[in-house]
Structure 1
Amino acid sequence: MRTINLFIKRIIDFLGSLIGMIIISPVLIIIAISIKLTSKGSVFFRQKRLGENGKVFKILKFRTMVVNAEKIGDGLFVKTEKDNRITKIGKLLRATSLDELPQLWNVLIGEMSLVGPRPPVPHHPYKYEEYSEYQSKRFNMKPGMTGLTQVTVRNSVPWDERIPVDVKYVETFNVWLDIKILFKTIQKIFVRESIYTHSEKNASEKSTTI
């Protein structure tokens, strides 16, 4: 049954990302032009992430920060929407998660899924080989544009507390669960919710990453 569900999941991913890119292409073009006209640098931001079974791939996003932002200020971490490295258009894109739309390409070519655990950077918070046997279960499926963590706790808890949610998703996965997560994700797009921590405690763990 799981094999069938995974097969259906890949069909949904392929068709969903392909059709999605076609339908929202005007939006993608408008965002791309806005980024190019309002700040120096590339329209897209590429960053290495850990994918299925620890395989490293480059995730694609719309650039929301100044060039080389990871080498300035808090580096990899973005603790507040007032971070001066974020561009004007970037604030809107990050608040609405529209900066994630280019990942439809990652989904189309099979590096990601529409739904799954979010992919961390290779060196934070742990290297792949440093995850415990239990924690590494989150890498048994392709990472997703959205996931169970994103529609529940999001960044409100430290990374180590998000992992059990990801593992739960992997262990209980079925197509119906993916569909419910996708609908909840759409609902959250229309409800403004901070993606940053409001506490200095554990800031490095709770804050979002570039």
Structure 2
Amino acid sequence: MLIRLLDIIFAFCGLVFGFPVLVILTIVGLFDTGSPIFRQQRVGRHKKPFTLVKFRTMKPDTAHVASHLASSSAITPFGGFLRKSKLDELPQLWNVLKGEMSLVGPRPCLFNQQELINEREQRGVLNARPGITGLAQVNDIDMSTPQLLAETDAKMLAQLTVANYFKYIFMTVAGKGSGDRVKKQ
């Protein structure tokens, strides 16, 4: 309950105080791809679908696959900056405010990532709200290793305290973790 309250406070403040940054990134993204906001159906809590929003980092005609299956040639120069700085994640604060996500939790996957969904289901990971960051993200574990990711997510959820919540957020803001891997070409 306390973590949900912290999510609401931080997401609201992030959206309000970050509004000028969101506007600037949207405008630059408009010139970069013509479509700066990316929306995609993801697996939410209890396998309920929700629409994740973030800044577009890849060309608009890129196939909707997990990042580790996408080609690095699809990433735009501005998208590369957004990914490296993790600013592409800012619009997800809206998902957090709506209660579809948490700041800390397992990264939401696509419905076509059945192996990951099965691994997470076996470990009870899908009973939690998906998150923007977490233990797997700060340790460079992404969706290319479904079993390891699900195990790490379950471990994080079992040990999620307010102290760990802040720890994962600060580690992410400080630049720990490289984000989702994309195939090099």
Q: TM-score, normalised by structure 1?
A: 0.78
The answer (yes or no) to whether the contact 2:107–2:131 under 8 Å persists in 1 is yes
Percent identity of paired positions between Structure 1 and Structure 2: 34
Aligned ranges 1:6-45 → 2 under 5 Å = 7-40=1-34, 42-45=35-38
The answer (yes or no) to whether the contact 1:95–1:195 under 8 Å persists in 2 is no
Q: 1:39 to 1:153 in 2, by over 3 A?
A: closer
Aligned ranges 1:134-145 → 2 under 5 Å = 134-135=122-123, 137-145=124-132
Match of 1:48 in 2: 41
The code of the aligned residue for 2:181 comes to: Y
Structure 2 residues without counterparts, runs of 5 or longer: none
The code of the aligned residue for 2:83 comes to: R
State the alpha-carbon separation in 2 of the partners of residues 86 and 148 from structure 1.
Answer: 25
Candidates 146, 153, 171, aligned match of 2:158: 171
1:152 and 2:136 are equivalent in the alignment: no
Higher mean displacement: 99-108 or 23-32: 23-32
Q: 1:194 to 1:116 in 2, by over 3 A?
A: closer
Shift of 1:79: 4.9
State the alpha-carbon separation in 1 of the partners of residues 184 and 75 from structure 2.
Answer: 20
State the alpha-carbon separation in 1 of the partners of residues 140 and 67 from structure 2.
Answer: 18
For the aligned residues, what is the CA RMSD? 2.7
Shift of 1:139: 1.0
1:86 and 2:75 are equivalent in the alignment: yes
Candidates 105, 110, 127, aligned match of 1:121: 110
1:162 and 2:149 are equivalent in the alignment: yes
The code of the aligned residue for 1:187 comes to: A
Number of residue pairs the alignment of both structures matches: 185
Q: Secondary structure at the match of 2:39?
A: strand
The answer (yes or no) to whether the contact 1:156–1:197 under 8 Å persists in 2 is no
Shift of 1:153: 3.3
Larger radius of gyration, structure 1 or 2? 1
Shift of 1:48: 0.8
Q: 1:52 to 1:27 in 2, by over 3 A?
A: same
Q: 1:79 to 1:10 in 2, by over 3 A?
A: closer
State the alpha-carbon separation in 1 of the partners of residues 183 and 116 from structure 2.
Answer: 27
Shift of 1:150: 0.8
State the alpha-carbon separation in 2 of the partners of residues 80 and 132 from structure 1.
Answer: 20
Shift of 1:164: 0.6
The answer (yes or no) to whether the contact 2:68–2:182 under 8 Å persists in 1 is yes
1:112 and 2:97 are equivalent in the alignment: no
Q: 1:194 to 1:147 in 2, by over 3 A?
A: closer
Shift of 1:67: 1.5
Q: Name the one with the larger helix percent.
A: 2
Q: Secondary structure at the match of 2:110?
A: coil
